[in-house]
Amino acid sequence: MPWAPDGSVTPTTPDWRETLGLLLSSTGEGVYGVDLDGRCIFINPAGARLIGYEPGELIGCNMHELTHHARADGSPYPEAECPIFNAFRRGIPCRIDSEVFWRRDGTAMAVEYSSHPIMDGGRVRGAVVTFVDITERRRAADALQRAKDELEQRVGERTAALETALRQVRDLAARAEMVREEERTRIAREVHDELGSLLVAMKMDVNWLDKRLFEQASRHPQAAEDMRARMRCKCQNMSRLIETAVDNVGRIITDLRPSILDHQGLWAALEWQAQEFAASAELALDWCMAVDEGLELPEPMAMAVFRIFQEMLSNVGRHARAAHLRIEIARAGDELQVTVEDDGVGAPPQAFEAADAYGIMGMRERARHFGGQLDICSAPGEGTRMRVSVTLPARPLGEGAS
């Protein structure tokens, strides 16, 4: 090795600046150095290209003022708060991935950068900064976050819907139990008040007859003719009481389960119920049934359809204030459809979704149990149309194989 004039050894290896230049040119990340005033002392081609300059244009420029002067929202970024400058002014290295560098054309570029002080003999001479464009990574992260937020929102909505449905089911179950108890109470009261009083009256009359017959027969034979007349009157009165009791028993039994449903089937029961309701409510009735009378439904389904139909008519009677009623019963493919339409006052859609619309919830639950649904179309002043659809069995009873 040759000796230098001062006695040191002069290396024969390539100049270290050339080696450093080759290293900086070969990396895909941006790398630049700044002095204690923040001026650029070197920058590699990749770094200059990322911010839209040629390397020679940046030497001597204040890099903070050029590319780090504002935050992502456009607000000013004071130099005193810049982590890059803290690296050489306070000797504090940093690594940041939440800020932006500004390009020559004024657009922002999401970056991840690190800044480390340049030390020389224990003294800070400046800082070296490396940075990389993470715009695509940020977009992917933002997209992932949006997807996560959307998923959380959907989960929240589904959870809320399930909670609402569960609450409605619980309310419906509680309401159903209450209605059952009320029905039992009503039946017990009617049986007690109607049948009980009638039977007591009959018993008193029978006792009266027994007592008077005995007394008259043993003490006053001459009063036999008068006794016969009074006995005839009492017997007639007892006959009327018995007839009333029979009528009441029939009415109570019909309320519980119409005998026509068992004896003549669902279609006759529906028509009978419609005619009875229209007559009692004084409504004009259009009745249309397009169902093969040979079609028979399983007993649970037939009862569900009948009860839903009763509730539909009950809603008309309680709320519609209608003058005309149209009822259509038809088979559509593999569905049975029962439609009740009135010309009454109608109601807004939300009225049928209210938490206390137990009758509507009950009809929907009955229909859903048999793979069906309840559709309601109504508006104030435009009447109401209710249609229940239930899925027929694969091979309904009464229909033979073709």
Answer yes or no: do 22 and 100 share one domain. yes
Residues in a beta bridge with 328:
288, 339
Answer yes or no: do 248 and 296 share one domain. no
pTM of the predicted model, to two decimals? 0.48
Answer yes or no: do 294 and 378 share one domain. yes
In a domain, 282, yes or no: yes
Answer yes or no: do 250 and 339 share one domain. no
In a domain, 143, yes or no: no
In a domain, 71, yes or no: yes
The answer to whether 304 touches 390, Cβ cutoff 8 Å, is yes
Answer yes or no: do 101 and 188 share one domain. no
| d(C-alpha 31, C-alpha 41), whole Å | 11
- Burial class of residue 127 (count of CB atoms within 10 Å of its CB; 0-12, 13-18, 19+): buried
Answer yes or no: do 250 and 164 share one domain. yes
Answer yes or no: do 245 and 275 share one domain. no
CATH number, domain at 119? 3.30.450.20
In terms of residue numbers, what domain contains 226? Answer: 154-254
Q: Of the residues 103, 133, 163, which one is the last residue of a structural domain?
A: 133
In a domain, 166, yes or no: yes
Answer yes or no: do 188 and 289 share one domain. no
Which of 291, 375, 287 minimizes the C-alpha distance to 330?
A: 291
In a domain, 350, yes or no: yes
Number of structural domains found in the chain: 3
| d(C-alpha 90, C-alpha 71), whole Å | 22
pLDDT per position in the chain (402 positions), as tens?
333 334 333 444 445 556 666 777 777 899 999 998 889 999 999 999 999 999 999 999 999 999 999 999 999 999 888 888 877 777 778 899 989 999 999 999 999 999 998 888 778 888 999 999 999 998 998 899 999 999 999 999 998 888 888 878 767 766 775 676 677 667 766 766 667 677 677 767 766 766 666 665 556 555 666 766 677 677 777 777 777 776 776 667 666 666 677 778 889 989 998 998 999 999 999 999 988 877 888 888 888 898 899 899 999 998 889 999 999 999 988 899 999 999 999 999 888 988 888 888 888 888 888 888 999 999 999 999 999 999 888 754 444 443
Answer yes or no: do 23 and 75 share one domain. yes
Answer yes or no: do 343 and 286 share one domain. yes
In a domain, 147, yes or no: no
Q: How far does CA 366 lie from the centroid of its chain?
A: 19
In a domain, 402, yes or no: no
Q: Of the residues 100, 133, 166, which one is the last residue of a structural domain?
A: 133
The answer to whether 317 touches 278, Cβ cutoff 8 Å, is no
Long-range contacts of 59-64 (CB under 8 A, 24+ apart): 62/37, 62/38, 63/32, 63/34, 63/38, 63/39, 63/129, 64/38
In a domain, 84, yes or no: yes
Answer yes or no: do 25 and 110 share one domain. yes
CATH number, domain at 308? 3.30.565.10
